[in-house]
Amino acid sequence: MPYTYTYKDIEKLFYFDIYGRVRNIPGNTRRKAHKTVDNRVCYKGYRRVRFRKDGIDHTIGAHRVVFILKNGYIPDQVDHIDMNKSNNRPENLREANNQQNQWNVTNKRAGIEKGVNFISGSGNWMVRICTQAGRKVLGTFNDLELANLVSKEAQEKYHGKYAGYYRG
């Protein structure tokens, strides 16, 4: 995806503090110097930063700004290691492709791991996982705890550091 802004554009306008909050550099905008500029939050929960270049308004994720400033290049996607969308500390951000970014999500169902589904007809739990080769069915289990364990181990094996749970 072609970007109309560069590392140099971002570097001229912003810096980030130790908490990953994006602030503006004095003199480059009409805003007050050193003001926090990532206080807008989009509907998906990500902090956003707005700026104008060549008469065109741009809105980008604050996590992208922090990553660009720390690493010196524009990645395809930026992943939050701890899955907290508002934690934009540099040590919590890493480059990822779309598949890796999709792997690093949590299941919103309490007590049920990602990839574990209940089969109502048999009363069993089925475990599936997406890999680079495609979707794999790992089996069906009578016990939810065992299904969760199999899912977690498979995430570790196939997704590695992008496994969908925070390992601290």
pTM comes to 0.74
For the stretch 77-107, pLDDT in tens is 999 998 889 999 999 999 998 888 887 777 6
* Residues pairing with 60 in the sheet: 49
> Does the domain spanning 101-162 belong to CATH 3.30.2080.10?
no
Query: How would you write 3-70 as a 3-class SS string?
Result: CCCCHHHHHHHEEECCCCCEEECCCCCCCCCCCECCCEECCCCCEEEEEEECCEEEEEEHHHHHHHHH
> Which secondary structure element, helix H or strand E, spans residue 77, and what is its range?
strand 77-80
* Residue extents of the structural domains in the chain: 7-96, 101-162
* Segment 127-158, tens digit of pLDDT: 998 888 888 999 999 999 999 899 889 888 88
For the domain made up of 7-96, the CATH class stated in words is alpha beta
